[in-house]
C-alpha cells in the first residue's frame, strides 16, 4: 500500500508540476503579451464587484474604464477606490486549483464538474474580496494595505486549500484511507 501511495504521490507531483510549468510558459510567452486575457479577467472582476456593491446599496464612483486595459478601477462614491490589475485577478489561484485537481487521482466524471465549479467559486470569492476591500477603503483607507496583503490573502488561499481538501477527501481514490484515519 505504501509503495502505491508513494507512486501516486510522485505521479501527482510530476503531473502537477508539468501542468503548472506549461501554464506559466503559455501565459508568459503568449497569453500575457499577445492577448487580452488579463484585461478580460480584470474586467469581469470589476463588473462583478460593481454588481455586488450596488446590490448591497452602495453608490459607485463613475470610473471610465477601458475594457481592454490591464488595470481598472472600482470604488464607492466618496472614497479613493481601488485599482484592480493582473496581479490581483486571481488567475494564478485558478490555475493552481485546476492543476492540483487535474493532477490528483480521481474520477474524470467528477473532475468535469468539480473543476469549472471550483474555479468559478474561486472567482466569486475574489469578487467578494475586492468588494470587501472597496468597503474598507470607503470606511478607512488606512486599513487597506493590511487587509489586502494579509487578511484576504490568507482567506482566499485558505478557501482554495479547502477546495483541494474537499477533492482529496471526497473524490480521490485515497479518500477511504484518509477518512478512516
Contact of 60 with 53, CB cutoff 8 Å: yes
Q: Rounded to whole angstroms, what are the CA distances from 132 to 50, 98, 158, 176?
A: 11, 25, 17, 38
Query: Any residues with CB less than 8 A from the CB of 85 and at least 6 apart, and which?
Result: 38, 42, 70, 71, 72
Show the cell assigned to 51: 454588481
Query: Residue 69: left (phi > 0), alpha (psi -120 to 50), or beta?
Result: beta
DSSP letters, 59-116, are: PBP-----TT-SEEEE-BTTS--EEEEGGGS-HHHHHHHHHHHHHS---HHHHHHHHH
pLDDT at 1: 46
Q: Whose CA is closest to 20, among 100, 89, 119?
A: 100
pLDDT at 20: 95
Query: Any residues with CB less than 8 A from the CB of 106 and at least 6 apart, and which?
Result: 167, 171, 172, 173
Q: CB 118: neighbour CB atoms within 10 A?
A: 21
Residue keyed to cell 464538474:
113
Average pLDDT on 93-120 reads 94
Show the cell assigned to 118: 471550483
pLDDT at 173: 79
Q: CB 142: neighbour CB atoms within 10 A?
A: 9
pTM for the whole thing? 0.89
Average pLDDT on 50-71 reads 92
User: Which three-class secondary structure state does DSSP give residue 57?
Assistant: coil
Q: What pLDDT, in 10s, does the model give residues 124-160?
A: 999 999 999 999 999 999 999 999 999 999 999 999 9
Domain ranges in the chain are 2-34+86-180
Average pLDDT, the chain: 91
DSSP letters, 6-23, are: HHHHHHHHHHHHHHHHHH
Amino acid at each position: 500500500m505504501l509503495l502505491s501511495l508513494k507512486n501516486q504521490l510522485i505521479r501527482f507531483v510530476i503531473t502537477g508540476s508539468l501542468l503548472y510549468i506549461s501554464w506559466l510558459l503559455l501565459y508568459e510567452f503568449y497569453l500575457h503579451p499577445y492577448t487580452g486575457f488579463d484585461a478580460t479577467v480584470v474586467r469581469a472582476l470589476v463588473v462583478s464587484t460593481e454588481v455586488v456593491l450596488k446590490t448591497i446599496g452602495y453608490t459607485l464612483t463613475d470610473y471610465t474604464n477601458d475594457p481592454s486595459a490591464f488595470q481598472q478601477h472600482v470604488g464607492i462614491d466618496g472614497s479613493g477606490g481601488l485599482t484592480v490589475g493582473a496581479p490581483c485577478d486571481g488567475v494564478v489561484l485558478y490555475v493552481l486549483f485546476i492543476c492540483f485537481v487535474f493532477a490528483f487521482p480521481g474520477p474524470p466524471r467528477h473532475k468535469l464538474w468539480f473543476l469549472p465549479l471550483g474555479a468559478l467559486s474561486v472567482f466569486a470569492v475574489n469578487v467578494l474580496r475586492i468588494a470587501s476591500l472597496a468597503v474598507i477603503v470607503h470606511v478607512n483607507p488606512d486599513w487597506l494595505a493590511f487587509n489586502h496583503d494579509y487578511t484576504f490573502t490568507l482567506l482566499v488561499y485558505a478557501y482554495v486549500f479547502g477546495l483541494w481538501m474537499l477533492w482529496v477527501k471526497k473524490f480521490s481514490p485515497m479518500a477511504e484511507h484518509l477518512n478512516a484515519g
